[in-house]
Amino acid sequence: MGYDEKNKNIVGLQEDYELTKRKDKDNFLLEFWEYLEANIPKAIVKANIQLSFKEINEKEVAIVEVRRSDIPIYLQKKGEKILYLRNRNKTEPLTDPEEIAKYVSKHF
């Protein structure tokens, strides 16, 4: 976060901080983790996601590292649990129970 992919430019996190309640890094961290843990079980978040900060060109950026999970992770969306798959450069929902079972048996 803090990188403009379209223009390939480091923009920093200041605009992201401004979107939080207290407009600072601490609140950014709180809201980041609260959002993840509201949608993904806490144990999975703690085991698979790391957030670090780095200064590049005098601007702070955030680096999110996501480890491959040993189990399928279903995301909560409108009260429904959905399994999403990464397919090349896009993310797609997998909703058919038979397709989910096939995917899970091959990958976990």
- pLDDT value for 78: 83
Give strand pairing partners of 92: 85
How is the chain split into domains, by residue range? 3-66, 74-107
Over residues 3-25, the pLDDT tens digits come to 999 999 999 999 999 999 999 99
Entry pTM: 0.77
CA distances from 79 to 24, 74, 82 (A): 31, 12, 10
Residues 26, 31: Cα–Cα separation, whole Å: 9
Over residues 79-99, the pLDDT tens digits come to 888 999 988 889 999 989 999
Mean local confidence (pLDDT), 44-53: 95
pLDDT at residue 76 greater than cutoff 80: no
Q: Over the chain, what is the mean pLDDT?
A: 93
